[in-house]
Amino acid sequence: MFDLRSDTITLPTAEMRKAMAEAEVGDDVYHEDVSINTLERMASEMVGKEDAIFVPSGSMGNLIALYINGGRGKEVLCDSNSHIIQHEVGSIASIAGTLSIGVPTPKGILQASMLAPLIKEKSYDLAQTALIEVENTIGGICYPLSTLVEIKALATKHNMLVHMDGARFFNAVVATKEDPIEIGDQTDTLTFCISKGLGAPVGSLLCGSSPFIEEARVVRKMLGGGMRQAGILAAGGIYALTHNISQLEIDHQRAKEIASSLQKTTWALFDIKDVQTNIIFFGVKGVSGKTIEKVFGNHNIACFGGNDTVRLVTNLNLSDEDVKGICKAIESIDEKEFYA
Ligand SMILES: Cc1ncc(COP(=O)(O)O)c(C=O)c1O
């Protein structure tokens, strides 16, 4: 089975495991884990923030940012399909107490012009807008830097903050060739995951100002995310940031190859221009995502079907041979199979 369900399925390589086995560790709740301290310093420098904190997951990183900078009874503006609304079990409502305002966008990319009319200033009866959340990449699509600059300017004008869910931040950096620090400058807080395309087994980094990260350490502990000798995990992250960022280009190239095969078929509906990184979304006319998933399964391709689209994600586990096999399998699918 070719597994294109997600880039979270990537397995640590022998070299990464060796780095993890040899990691110097300590008690991270006491801030004494050398490997975690190194990873946090590396992360904050890479995105141009004062500090960073290692958290067990991207979801926890987003939640901590929303808990601190959103807060109870305040609003966050984000894309209506954003991960924080759709896939984080309602944690920003149930734990952070923040009301999410999902803004419909054609491809997940918010614009300052669509956000401006939605901002609510502090008042006796309104839920004040505290935060704008941008997801980069979203559905594999990258935010143009100019759009981020406009969003940040709007937020600053209204005394609001910007959080970036950069679960796949380095996919965006590699694809757009933008300076990660310049992207980071358009945010107040930023998460990125080491456990997705970068291939480490566990963890994310939440980056921001020193006072914010100090507060984040308390909230992480409150949420049960204070880990002890987790430097073993951080060593995987250090390895990933050192060796695997450039590898993302290969994932992107492979996604384009697979997209070209889809384009050759009579049934796949999508815009190849949207395949900017390692994610492809496509549909088949009148067919549910689950049916498409089943047909692909019959051709040895594992993927995730949603309501009316399917997601294919290239990842480090794949070889050139696998990609050839996937393309061949896709091109062999007869349109009739979706309607059988
Ligand atoms: C865009 C985005 N944000 C956040 C997350 C959450 O990451 P985690 O699974 O580590 O909680 C994911 C996970 O797939 C994601 O795709």
Quick check: is 5 in a domain?
A: no
* Final residue belonging to a domain, choices 208, 243, 278: 243
Give the CATH number, domain containing residue 124. Answer: 3.40.640.10
Q: Which amino acid is at 90?
A: G
Is 292 found in the same domain as 212?
Answer: no
User: Distance, CA 204 to ligand 1 centroid (Å)?
Assistant: 9
Total count of domains within the chain: 2
- Using 50, 70 and 90 to split pLDDT, how confident is the model at 176? very high
Whether residues 64 and 144 share a domain: the answer is yes
- For residue 15 the two structure tokens come to 């070299």
User: Is residue 227, in this structure, part of any structural domain at all?
Assistant: yes
Instruction: Calculate how far, in angstroms, residue 212's C-alpha sits from the geometric centre of ligand 1.
Output: 21
163 — pLDDT class (breaks 50, 70, 90): very high
Token digits of residue 284: 């088949």
Confidence of residue 31 (pLDDT cuts 50, 70, 90): very high
Per-residue CA distances from 250 to 203, 204, 247, 315 (Å): 22, 22, 5, 9
Tell me: do 133 and 282 sit in the same domain: no
Percent of the chain exceeding pLDDT 70 equals: 100
Query: Quick one: pLDDT at residue 255?
Result: 98
The SS3 assignment for 270 reads: coil
Report the predicted TM-score, pTM, of the whole model to 2 decimal places: 0.97
Q: Which residues line ligand 1 (CB under 6 A)?
A: 8, 57-59, 83, 135, 165, 167, 193, 195, 204
Q: Do 202 and 289 belong together in one domain?
A: no
Distances in Å between the Cα of 325 and the Cα atoms of 111, 197, 217, 260 are 39, 21, 46, 14
Question: What is the residue type of 37?
Answer: N
Q: Which of 59, 64, 84, 168 to mutate to test the pocket of ligand 1 (most atoms within 8 A of CB)?
A: 59
Please give the distance, rounded to the nearest whole angstrom, from the Cα atom of residue 335 to the centre of ligand 1: 33
DSSP, collapsed to helix, strand or coil, labels residue 206 as: strand
Q: Within a domain: residue 161?
A: yes
Cis status, amide bond into 137, omega within 30 of 0: yes
pLDDT digits (tens, 9 = 90+) for 280-309: 999 999 999 999 999 999 999 999 999 999
C-alpha 121 to ligand 1 mean position (Å): 30
Mutate which of 9, 86, 193 for ligand 1? The one with the most ligand atoms within 8 Å of its CB, which is: 193
User: Is residue 74 within 8 Å of 131, Cβ to Cβ?
Assistant: yes
195, 226, 243 - which closes a domain: 243
Domain end marker among 208, 228, 243 = 243
The atom number, within ligand 1, closest to the CA of 6 reads 14
How much is the pLDDT for 188? 99
Q: What is the dihedral of CA 267, 273, 277, 283, to 10 degrees?
A: -20
Q: One-letter amino acid identity for 192?
A: F
* 230 and 254 within one domain: no
**What's residue 136's pLDDT?**
98
Residues 22 and 165 in one domain: yes
- pLDDT value at residue 82: 98
Do both 233 and 92 map to the same domain?
A: yes
Whose C-alpha lies nearest to ligand 1, atom 4? 58
Element of type H or E holding 76: strand 75-79
* Domain membership flag for residue 262: yes
**Do residues 90 and 192 both lie within one domain?**
yes
Tens of pLDDT along 209-218? Answer: 999 999 999 9
pLDDT of res. 254: 98
Residues 196 and 269 in one domain: no
Q: What is the pLDDT of residue 161?
A: 98
Q: Kindly state whether residues 238 and 251 are assigned to the same domain.
A: no
CATH code for position 290? 3.90.1150.10
Query: Is 4 within a domain?
Result: no
Q: Report if residue 311 sits inside a domain.
A: yes
Single-letter amino acid, residue 215: E
Parent domain of 315: 247-339
Is position 251 within any domain?
Answer: yes
Radius of gyration of the chain from Cα atoms?
Answer: 20
Q: Are 277 and 175 in contact (CB under 8 A)?
A: yes
Residues 122 and 220 in one domain: yes
- 156 and 298 co-located in one domain: no
Pair of tokens at residue 157: 């004008």
Single-letter amino acid, residue 283? G
Q: What is the mean pLDDT of the chain?
A: 98
**Amino acid making up residue 79:** D
Tell me how far the alpha carbon of residue 118 lies from the centroid of ligand 1, in angstroms.
26
Q: Whose CA is nearest to atom 5 of ligand 1?
A: 58
Q: How many CB atoms lie within 10 A of CB 287?
A: 19
Residue 75 has a pLDDT of 98
Phi, psi of 195 (to 5 degrees): -95, 10
Return the closest-CA partner of residue 122 out of 113, 130, 114.
130
Length of the chain: 340
Q: Whose CA is nearest to atom 7 of ligand 1?
A: 58
pLDDT digits (tens, 9 = 90+) for 112-136: 999 999 999 999 999 999 999 999 9
Residue 1, in any domain of the structure: no
**Distance from Cα 83 to the centre of ligand 1, integer Å:** 7
How far, in Å, is the centroid of ligand 1 from the Cα of 139?
A: 12
pLDDT band, very low/low/confident/very high, at 199 (cuts 50, 70, 90): very high
As given in the structure block, the two tokens for residue 33 are: 């884990």
User: How far apart are the C-alpha atoms of 163 and 78, rounded to whole Å?
Assistant: 10
Q: What's the confidence (pLDDT) of residue 156?
A: 98
Q: With bands split at pLDDT 50, 70 and 90, how would you rate the model's confidence at 233?
A: very high
